[in-house]
Amino acid sequence: MSIREILAAIAFLAAVIFGVAGLAGLFRFPDPYSRLQAGSLLGTTSVLSIFIGTLLLSPNGAVAARVVVIMLFFLISSPTGSHIVARFTWNIGTHPWRPKSEEKKNQGKTGKGKDEAAPEENP
């Protein structure tokens, strides 16, 4: 059991912890924006930890170089994908979630109800 295997085991343990947390958030959060945040946590931290672990365990230089290239491209493409989904969700007019007590308070104040809490139209 060498030092590289111990470091890889630590990276994989972090990947498991963050992966379970991200999947739980994907099921438990109420609206698409917060779910997207949990998904980005899983996508970035967990998958990147797995890449670091495989980089430590890679058998030869060809495999390690390809893992580095995949890691760099993933660091660019994953936040861009999350951004695309968030903009799509905003553009089709989904309301951000807010607690029911706050909604009632807004209703009492303005008398207009839910539309008061709606996001402004994107230009």
Partner 1 sequence: MREFLLTGMQWFIIACILVCIIRILTSRTTSGKLVGLNVLSGVVLAFLVLRGVSEGRALYLDVALVYDIFGFLGFLGIARFLKDKIQGESQE
Task: Give the separation between CA 68 and CA 1, rounded to whole angstroms.
Answer: 24
Site for partner 1 in 64-93 (CB under 8 A): 66-67, 69-70, 73-74, 77-78, 80-82, 84-85, 87-89, 91-92
Closest CB to partner 1 among 86 and 106? 86
Q: Does 18 bind partner 1 (CB under 8 A)?
A: no
Q: Which long-range contacts does 55-61 make (Cβ < 8 Å, 24+ apart)?
A: 56/4, 56/5, 56/7, 56/8, 56/11, 57/4, 57/5, 57/8
H-helix or E-strand containing 51? helix 47-57
* Candidates 13-21, 100-108, 115-123; binding stretch for partner 1 (CB under 8 A): 13-21
Q: Does 21 bind partner 1 (CB under 8 A)?
A: no
Closest CB to partner 1 among 79 and 113? 79
* Contacts with 45 (C-beta within 8 Å, 6 or more apart), sequence order: 14, 15, 18, 22
Question: Which one among 14, 21, 94, 106 touches partner 1, defined by CB under 8 A?
Answer: 94
Residue type, 92: I
Q: Does 52 bind partner 1 (CB under 8 A)?
A: no
* Candidates 33-41, 97-105, 106-114, 115-123; binding stretch for partner 1 (CB under 8 A): 33-41
